[in-house]
């Protein structure tokens, strides 16, 4: 049986880590490694790990403060699994998630697997009394070619989380990870390791298996790094977290990304996708040449009408040798494709293909993982669930009108 490593990078978030560990240790799988990589925490992180008291847990400590990509690299180099994936310290693994992952892995058609994930808002994320949970109920399985899927992402008609990667239910075989290491010895070569893993594995593989069966829960807590960049909730706390992340990163944004206002522009995650593409190109000599115009056009579409997009486009064009007069070439076609993708998202709305679990008792992500497993197991067929959710939304609208 292949050994699977679930890596949990963490730093001074022992309050959420406790429940992330509780969810993973509830998984019945003897060939599972749970690797906690402590980024020199000064809280009770080690005590929380020891209290979990599970022989499958391995604790490692960086010994000094590192940026996020450095911590992920440190952890990856110490994992022993044949397959590897990461979750955050406010995320979870569903009780039956690893069994479903093994089911998909046994297919043997690819060295990368992208499973679905549930979404859980911790009470602290939205100042709620109880957390909220969304569970996908689709059960499809597809073998996808990476290059066409990557093209969709670059043209802003898909999202990077649809690609193979190493986060939130995405796992890769160690042989593929090693093949994707750069000559500098590093696997992660940009600020955001989640995004970079998706880009480099898409560039280095031919196909991947995409399953809609959930393995993990993507948790959003008050201390989530992503939330800090989006400026939700308490501004000072969020901004401090985002500022600390930027200051500690050992990988600056690529010069050719031409970002001058990082605090605002990196809220558009598509720019970080472009950055990952540029960083990968620099780190690897065997990748096909980039089309900077294609990157620019995708960035413009993804940014929509952000006030900084025109100035950024001019700077990006200058930094990448793109004649200003060519920026609009073929844009109508890309905008049409983007519109059709958005229309498809609306028609295939997440609310229609998911179950919103009741908020009662969802005080932490470990409880949410148990509830999510029961909800997924008991959910009606996707078609029946879609009909039920459409009916629910109509009742809500009619109730609001009356």
Encoded tokens for 2 = 């292949």
**Superfamily the domain 4-226 falls into:** Spore Coat Polysaccharide Biosynthesis Protein SpsA; Chain A (3.90.550.10)
Torsion 117-122-126-128 (CA) sign: positive
- pTM of the predicted structure, to 2 decimals: 0.89
Look at residue 287 in the predicted model and tell me its pLDDT: 94
Q: Count the alpha carbons within 13 Å of 37 in the hemisphere toward its beta carbon.
A: 25
Per-residue confidence in pLDDT tens, the chain, 402 aa? 899 999 999 999 999 999 999 999 999 999 999 999 999 999 999 999 999 999 999 999 999 999 999 999 999 999 999 999 999 999 999 999 999 999 999 877 899 999 999 999 998 776 666 778 999 888 888 999 999 999 999 999 999 999 999 999 999 999 999 999 999 999 999 989 999 999 999 999 999 999 999 999 999 888 776 655 555 444 444 445 555 545 565 688 999 999 887 767 777 889 999 999 999 999 999 999 999 999 999 999 999 888 899 999 999 999 999 999 999 999 999 999 999 998 888 776 655 567 777 666 788 999 999 999 999 998 766 555 555 555 555 454 444 443
Look at residue 124 in the predicted model and tell me its pLDDT: 78
Look at residue 401 in the predicted model and tell me its pLDDT: 45
Distance, CA of 290 to CA of 196 (rounded, Å): 16
Tokens 């066409």 appear where?
Answer: 148
Q: DSSP string covering 216-260, please?
A: EEEEE-TT-HHHHHHT-S-HHHHHHHHHHHHHH-SSPPPGGG--S
Every domain of the chain and the residues it spans: 4-226, 252-347
Q: DSSP string covering 193-219, please?
A: HHHHHHHHHHHH-SEEEEEEEEEEEEE
Look at residue 320 in the predicted model and tell me its pLDDT: 96
Look at residue 396 in the predicted model and tell me its pLDDT: 47
Look at residue 402 in the predicted model and tell me its pLDDT: 36
């Amino acid at each position: 049986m292949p050994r699977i490593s679930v890596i949990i990078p963490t730093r001074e978030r022992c309050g959420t880590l406790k429940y992330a560990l509780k969810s993973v240790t509830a998984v019945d799988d003897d060939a599972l490694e749970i690797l906690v990589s402590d980024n020199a925490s000064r809280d009770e992180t080690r005590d929380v790990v020891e209290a979990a008291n599970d022989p499958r847990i391995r604790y490692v400590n960086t010994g000094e403060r590192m940026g996020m990509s450095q911590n992920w690299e440190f952890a990856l180099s110490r994992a022993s699994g044949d397959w590897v994936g990461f979750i955050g310290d406010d995320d979870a693994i569903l009780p039956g998630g690893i069994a479903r992952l093994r089911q998909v892995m046994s297919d043997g058609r690819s060295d990368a697997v992208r499973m679905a994930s549930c979404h859980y808002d911790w009470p602290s994320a939205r100042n709620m009394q109880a957390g909220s949970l969304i569970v996908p109920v689709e059960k499809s399985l597809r073998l996808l070619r990476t290059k066409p899927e990557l093209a969709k992402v670059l043209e802003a008609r898909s999202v990077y989380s649809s690609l193979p990667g190493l986060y939130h239910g995405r796992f890769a075989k160690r042989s593929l990870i090693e093949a994707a290491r750069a000559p500098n010895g590093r696997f992660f070569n940009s600020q955001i390791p989640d995004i970079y893993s998706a880009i480099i594995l898409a560039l280095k593989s031919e196909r991947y298996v995409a399953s809609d069966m959930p393995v993990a829960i993507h948790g959003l807590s008050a201390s989530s790094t992503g939330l800090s960049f989006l400026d939700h909730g308490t501004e000072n706390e969020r901004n401090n977290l985002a500022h600390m992340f930027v200051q500690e990163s050992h990988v600056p944004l690529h010069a050719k990304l031409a970002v001058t206002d990082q605090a605002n522009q990196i809220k558009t995650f598509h720019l970080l996708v472009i950055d990952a593409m540029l960083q990968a190109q620099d780190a690897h000599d065997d990748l096909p040449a980039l089309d900077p115009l294609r990157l620019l056009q995708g960035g413009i579409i993804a940014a929509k009408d952000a006030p900084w997009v025109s100035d950024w486009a001019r700077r990006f064009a200058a930094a990448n040798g793109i004649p200003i007069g060519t920026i609009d070439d073929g844009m109508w076609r890309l905008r049409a494709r983007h519109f059709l993708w958005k229309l498809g998202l609306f028609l295939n709305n997440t609310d229609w293909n998911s179950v919103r679990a009741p908020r009662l008792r969802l005080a932490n992500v470990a409880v949410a993982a148990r509830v999510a497993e029961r909800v997924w197991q008991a959910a009606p067929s996707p078609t029946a669930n879609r009909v039920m959710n459409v009916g629910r939304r109509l009742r809500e609208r009619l109730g609001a009108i009356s």
